[in-house]
Amino acid sequence: MGIDKDKGLSAATELRRQAAEEQLRTKTATLHPPRSEEELQRLVHELEVHQIELEMQNAELLQARDELEVSRNTYAELYDFAPVGYFTFDTHGLIREVNLTGAQLLGRERGLLTNTPLSSFITDADGREIFSSHLGNVLQRQGMQRCEISLTRKDGTVIYGLLQSVAKETLENKDGFILTSIVDGTARKQLGAELQKAHDNLEAIVRERTGELLRSCKIITWPFF
């Protein structure tokens, strides 16, 4: 990807150089030798002014390049060390890019995840079906789509993944790629299960105590006069 980008920049530079040479030839054809010392000095002065302007523009470009590099590095750090796993999938669910958090989420080295299907980390067949339907929804509908699946890490531990995805188009392909964030919701899932278990236990205790209370009650019949 970096090589293609460098080739594109080199091609653009070459085109600008050719365009500049063509403009110089056109302009040179219309020029005539200075007719006096005064005209010669004026031309020299204009050239000096243009040279200073070019130097100033070059300095501004260098400064902008440095600022862009700093901004790019800052963005890369924010992307890599975000508390959320960020993934870029193709339309078939293959991982094209992933940040460090996402790689750690799956327990794999980042460089080994490229072109790996996320489905290979999904714990069960139901989860793989859910993810497949999720991809279809992302590509067919507008806006953010969500799903929840279980993922098995390299060490065998299972985590509960909360996915949010959106499709991004490219000029070459209407459905270019899919941007997905994955959050580890294992703790939330475990807490929900524990709360449900506590609720069920409480209901069982209430039913048991209620039954005991009813059984201990005596029915009193009052005589009619």
108: in domain = yes
pLDDT of residue 67: 72
**Whether residue 126 sits in one domain with residue 68:** no
Q: Within this chain, do residues 57 and 115 fall inside the same structural domain, yes or no?
A: no
More confident residue, 173 or 87: 87
Q: What is the pLDDT of residue 114?
A: 93
- Please give the pLDDT value at position 2: 46
Shared-domain flag, residues 64 and 137: no
Q: What is the reported pTM?
A: 0.56
Q: Is 97 domain-assigned?
A: yes
Domain enclosing residue 62, as ranges: 36-80
DSSP H helical ranges for the chain: 2-30, 37-80, 100-106, 125-140, 186-216
Task: Please give the mean pLDDT across all residues of the chain.
Answer: 78
Q: What is the pLDDT of residue 190?
A: 61
Among 20-24, 29-33, 153-157, 193-197, the range with the most confident prediction by mean pLDDT is 153-157
**Confidence at residue 108, expressed as pLDDT on a 0 to 100 scale:** 92
Tell which of 80, 100, 133 closes a domain. Answer: 80
Tokens of 34: 């200075």
pLDDT value for 29? 61
3 state DSSP class of 68: helix
Task: Summarize pLDDT for 76-86 with one digit per residue, the tens.
Answer: 677 777 889 99
Per the structure, how many domains does the chain have? 2
- Cβ–Cβ < 8 Å for 164, 148: no
Residue 63 pLDDT level (bands cut at 50, 70, 90): confident
Other CB atoms within 10 A of residue 113 CB: 19
The mean pLDDT of 167-193, rounded to a whole number, is 74
Residue 43 has pLDDT above 70, yes or no: yes
Q: Is residue 23 part of a domain?
A: no
Which tokens go with 19? 């365009």
